[in-house]
Chain A
Amino acid sequence: MGMTVVEKILARATGRTSVKAGDVVEPVVDLAMSHENAALVINQFLEVFSGTRLEPEIWDPSKLAIIFDHRVPAESPKTATNQKKIREFVAKHTIQRFHDIRGDVGGICHQILPESGYVRPGAVVVGTDSHTTSHGALGAFAFGIGATEMASVWVLGTAVNIAVPATIKVNVTGKFPDFVGPKDFILHLIGRISAKGANFRVIEFHGETVRRMPTSGRLVICNMSVEAGATAGIVPADAETTRYLQEEAGVQDVIEPVLPDRDAEYDETIDVDVTDLSPQIACPHSVDNVKAIGKVEGTRVNQIVIGSCTNGRLDDLEIAAGLLRGKRVADNVRMLIFPASGKIYQKALGQGYIGDFVSAGAVVMNPGCGPCLGVHEGALGDGEVALSTTNRNFKGRMGNPKSEVYLCSPAVAAASALTGVITDPRKGA
């Protein structure tokens, strides 16, 4: 019987000829990523060694990546002290893939990993962040784990006792209409299968629409696969993966795609045709409360956010700049823009997008997770409404349980910034 991509990756990572859904395996980890929650991982890591006579030692520091993004620059002495402790640990254990708070090589972990060439097709990637699913965009098996589980990876170099997940095959066909794209597709899919529709399973993306989609778009759909409960999202690697890694991530070594067998066994197959898809909006307070834009057009918003690990990439900023250029953000609306990394920020500067944003009245912030999870800047007032290109809208997500969050694409966010109400970008804003 054939194998899915993730089954093949796990067979290779466990030295077996084959594995099937349900098998319990212990894959060797190729990349282990943490952000500021490395502070907790370090605590749990040291705990493993307590009571033993062994010196705390990381199995392979070259496999670790630590990126500061959740609270950058630090918003409190507590965060600053956590970051200081992590820096000291990084220096002591010689962790090379460390991205501190910097304008050039800093940024959001789920952009830093791909753009730095840390992720390869076929790799096993774990991260102490649920959106680690993003890296399936490069044909890797990437999934989120907790801090204690990461401590275990740091010690043993393997992810212990993993049940091989079953896979859902999603075939995407059709050409996106203007101002409709990967974000609308993934919101539509989550709305269709629900926030638990893919629980404990992998979503493997196929079809002409995915093949034509640049890596930036694949990162969006894999990133949000977790919002349907998926363990991972994955796009089998192809020529675009190689192009991205070579041209945008500077990878020079051989790139070997891992592809599913023709007779791979899928748990379920879902077909989506995007030809007539309209902009999709996830309404408060759950990501699967998805509606076509027509149902919520005209809803008054107080704050617009473009950015995050979902939609802070150059093509997202390009779409937004195209809509905002020479125009003005409506009164009584705050527009915040967070490029996903320093590299993207610099490219956006070069392209003139940052100037377009500032001239229109938007506030361009430094790369980081920012207001997405209410840990840093961009808080909402009681009763206020945000429209955001981020990935979650649970009650209190942006820091205030008395506020509401709608999720959308960069095109919808930018068109709505000009009017102050949820606006369909297809209607010539």
Chain B
Amino acid sequence: MATVVLVLGDDISTDVIYPGRYMATVLPTETPQFAFADDAAFNAKLQAKEIPAGSIVLAGKNFGCGSSREQAVSTLKGHDLVIVAESFARIFLQNAINLGLRVITAPGIAASEGDDLEIGLEKVANKTAGKSYPVEQLPEARKAILEAGGLIAYTRNRLLQNRGEATP
């Protein structure tokens, strides 16, 4: 069970998640400080570590649209946030799977700040509102990357196979 800490609408762009002016900061160890930087109050809570790991950001359709900047994923992962949305934009979804950010697609999902959600393989249950929503599975095409623990590990395994070396 985890609590919804931020509720957002449709078409939340990566400009909102990680403003462009911080793009010179690239390393996943450094990007978390700028998560939702233009939402000063929420950013301050994140920086003060007032948001527990595993907390949920709830969004509508097309979360992560716009720029391909991967900082928008590493910044959320750095705070161990879980993103539950009605749908995700393509590049953001791929980046999330590649980096291991937990993203859940739940069409029709509705919740308010403070609601407790239980995320299962098949459904997301809003325990506060007493409603559940079916979970759409991540694209089959990306399964091998998920199973390898992300794209870096997947690529490393493939490289070693190509060179005839044992995978670590």
Say whether B13 faces chain A, with CB atoms less than 8 Å apart.
yes
Which residues of the partner chain B approach A36 to less than 8 Å between Cβ atoms? 23-24
Among A152, A373, A401, the residue within 8 A (CB) of B38 is A401
> Cβ of B94 and Cβ of A149 under 8 Å apart?
yes
Which residues of the partner chain B approach A70 to less than 8 Å between Cβ atoms? 23
Among A128, A196, A401, the residue within 8 A (CB) of B65 is A196
> Cβ of B70 and Cβ of A147 under 8 Å apart?
yes
Per the 8 Å Cβ criterion, residues 265-306 of A in contact with B are 286, 288
The smallest beta-carbon distance between B136 and chain A, in angstroms, is 12
A145 to B151, CA, bound (A): 13
Say whether B49 faces chain A, with CB atoms less than 8 Å apart.
no
Say whether A246 faces chain B, with CB atoms less than 8 Å apart.
no
A420 to B65, CA, bound (A): 31
A48 to B21, CA, bound (A): 28
Size of the A side of the interface (Cβ < 8 Å), in residues, is 56
Per the 8 Å Cβ criterion, residues 169-183 of A in contact with B are none
> Cβ of B26 and Cβ of A128 under 8 Å apart?
no
> Cβ of B26 and Cβ of A37 under 8 Å apart?
yes
Which residues of the partner chain B approach A43 to less than 8 Å between Cβ atoms? 26-27
Among B27, B68, B99, the residue within 8 A (CB) of A128 is B68
Among A40, A47, A48, A130, the residue within 8 A (CB) of B91 is A130
Which residues of the partner chain A approach B21 to less than 8 Å between Cβ atoms? 373-375, 399
Which residues of the partner chain A approach B163 to less than 8 Å between Cβ atoms? 54
> Cβ of A76 and Cβ of B24 under 8 Å apart?
yes
Among A51, A199, A288, the residue within 8 A (CB) of B90 is A199
Which residues of the partner chain A approach B98 to less than 8 Å between Cβ atoms? 146, 148-149
Which residues of the partner chain B approach A231 to less than 8 Å between Cβ atoms? 90
Among B20, B62, B71, the residue within 8 A (CB) of A229 is B62
Say whether A161 faces chain B, with CB atoms less than 8 Å apart.
yes
Among A40, A52, A396, the residue within 8 A (CB) of B70 is A40
The smallest beta-carbon distance between B73 and chain A, in angstroms, is 7
> Cβ of A145 and Cβ of B91 under 8 Å apart?
yes
The smallest beta-carbon distance between A299 and chain B, in angstroms, is 22
Given known pairs A199-B89, A394-B16, the reply for A146 and B24 (CB within 8 Å) is no
> Cβ of B68 and Cβ of A82 under 8 Å apart?
no
> Cβ of B38 and Cβ of A48 under 8 Å apart?
no
Among B16, B38, B141, the residue within 8 A (CB) of A161 is B141
A47 to B155, CA, bound (A): 10
Of chain B, the residue at the smallest CB distance from A398 is B20
Say whether B160 faces chain A, with CB atoms less than 8 Å apart.
yes
Interface code A77-107, partner B: CB below 8 Å = 1, 0 otherwise?
0110010000000000000000000000000
A359 to B143, CA, bound (A): 59
Of chain A, the residue at the smallest CB distance from B88 is A199
Which residues of the partner chain B approach A392 to less than 8 Å between Cβ atoms? 13, 15, 66-67
The smallest beta-carbon distance between A401 and chain B, in angstroms, is 4
Interface code A375-419, partner B: CB below 8 Å = 1, 0 otherwise?
100000000000000001011110101000000000000000000
Which residues of the partner chain B approach A79 to less than 8 Å between Cβ atoms? 24
Given known pairs A78-B24, A195-B11, A196-B62, the reply for A160 and B154 (CB within 8 Å) is yes
Interface code B42-72, partner A: CB below 8 Å = 1, 0 otherwise?
0000000000000000000110011111110
A392 to B73, CA, bound (A): 20
Which residues of the partner chain B approach A162 to less than 8 Å between Cβ atoms? 141
Which residues of the partner chain B approach A147 to less than 8 Å between Cβ atoms? 26, 70
> Cβ of B156 and Cβ of A375 under 8 Å apart?
no
Given known pairs A148-B98, A148-B151, A163-B139, the reply for A71 and B165 (CB within 8 Å) is no
A400 to B75, CA, bound (A): 20
Say whether A64 faces chain B, with CB atoms less than 8 Å apart.
no
Of chain A, the residue at the smallest CB distance from B153 is A48
Per the 8 Å Cβ criterion, residues 98-120 of B in contact with A are 98-99
> Cβ of B168 and Cβ of A51 under 8 Å apart?
yes
> Cβ of A82 and Cβ of B26 under 8 Å apart?
yes
Of chain A, the residue at the smallest CB distance from B39 is A401
In the assembled complex, 28 residue pairs joining A and B whose CB atoms fall closer than 8 Å, in A order, are A40-B26, A40-B71, A48-B155, A48-B156, A48-B159, A49-B159, A52-B168, A54-B160, A129-B68, A130-B67, A144-B68, A146-B69, A146-B70, A147-B26, A148-B98, A148-B151, A151-B151, A151-B152, A160-B145, A161-B145, A195-B65, A375-B21, A392-B66, A394-B16, A394-B66, A396-B19, A399-B21, A401-B19
A contact set with B: CB distance below 8 Å: 24, 36-37, 39-40, 43-44, 47-49, 51-54, 70-71, 76, 78-79, 82, 128-130, 132, 144-149, 151-152, 155-156, 160-163, 195-196, 199-200, 229, 231, 286, 288, 373-375, 392, 394-397, 399, 401
